[in-house]
Amino acid sequence: MSWATQDPESFRQSLRSWLDTHCPQAMRDGLNTEATICWGGKNWEFTSKHQKLWMQNAAEVGLTTPRWPAAYGGAGLSREQDKIYLEELARINARMPLLSFGIWMLGPALLAFGSEAQKQKYLPQIIRGEQRWCQGYSEPGAGSDLANVQTKAEDMGDHYLINGQKIWTSYADKADWIFALVRTDRDAPKHKGISFILIDMESEGVSTRPIQLISGASAFCETFFDNVKVPKENVVGEVNKGWDIAKYLLTHEREMISGNNQGLTSGRPLGAVLAQTAGEERLSDASLRAAAMECEIDALSVGLTLERYKDQAEAGAGVGDASAMLKYMGTELNKQRYELMMSAGGSEAIDTDGAHGDLAMDWLRSKANSIEGGTSEVMLGIISRRILGLPG
């Protein structure tokens, strides 16, 4: 199916017809929570036949990665068509067919810096949900200084030998591959001598250890590399210039997190979601209504700002340091939405076995938004120095 050449209205009608046939009714419940997301990968266990069918149907026509080029299996949609796609998913209350770090972060980096062989090898598997990736950036003792990479990759002639440790590697225990920053030149300045490399998690010498969170879940892990052999062709871009890729990828990660503040509501008005959660009677509380309206106004402002920067990026100007502002606001909005949901649900919302299901777990999980993708303190530092021009 070729949608790329269709005008907006023709595309919308064509897409509606396709969704009517290919999006299962069971996937039209508006749930895009931690428990309902489809992450894909070799180790993924589908929660239902409908989840599997929805992912496969979307992948077949490239709609798991609507903006990626058709040459690698994406849908090749324009920016305007992509907006229509999201509108139509919201209209029928559909879940996203597939979400992954491969889609949000590695894919854009490969499209910008990868070799043609790397694109052909990895992108189609990400699009089809066959390969799950995790990110290997942070290291113990480095704090917010991502460039303080101590994991080393020694040149052994036909391969690199990697030793070191990463931390806060989300879902590393479930991932098939990891994209990581490694130091390939220990004598170079801190931001030089770093390379961006792809490592198979089944390689001998790779091990993971989950970190238990306040929610009881273990989304984050420690990842260890003990004499791990990695082929040289797994380096993305130029050796020792991985920091440029790291910065590019971080921009996409922050944009992704800022855009995910709608995940809880799937594009529906917050008031409608609160009414569904707690009942319309609870919404008679004036303070709750005021808080919901304030949150919605902030969400609209962030959404419009995000669209403006996406247009800017489309024109080639990039997002740059504004990604820190978008990430910070997206984080605060997501946490604010969960606080409101918990307030609306009252004491019953705490009960994980009650009518509110996983809401309490997702609320606790939202606290990690202030850490992942760069802490809120780091984001505020970037905003103050690089956007507002305040002294550092």
Contact 198, 179 (CB under 8 A): yes
Instruction: List residues with catalytic annotation.
Output: 253
Dist CA 341 CA 204 (whole Å): 45
Q: Own/partner pairs for 342-349, CB < 8 Å, 24+ apart?
A: 343/288, 343/291, 344/274, 344/277, 344/278, 344/282, 344/283, 344/288, 345/277, 345/278, 346/278, 346/282, 349/277
Q: Which residues pair with 241 in a beta bridge?
A: 194
Instruction: Name the residue type at position 290.
Output: A
Cα 366–Cα 82–Cα 91 angle in degrees, nearest 5: 70
Instruction: Work out the burial of residue 37: count CB atoms within 10 Å of its CB; fewer than 13 is exposed, 13-18 middle, 19 or more buried.
Output: middle
State the CB neighbour count (10 A cutoff) for residue 357.
Answer: 16
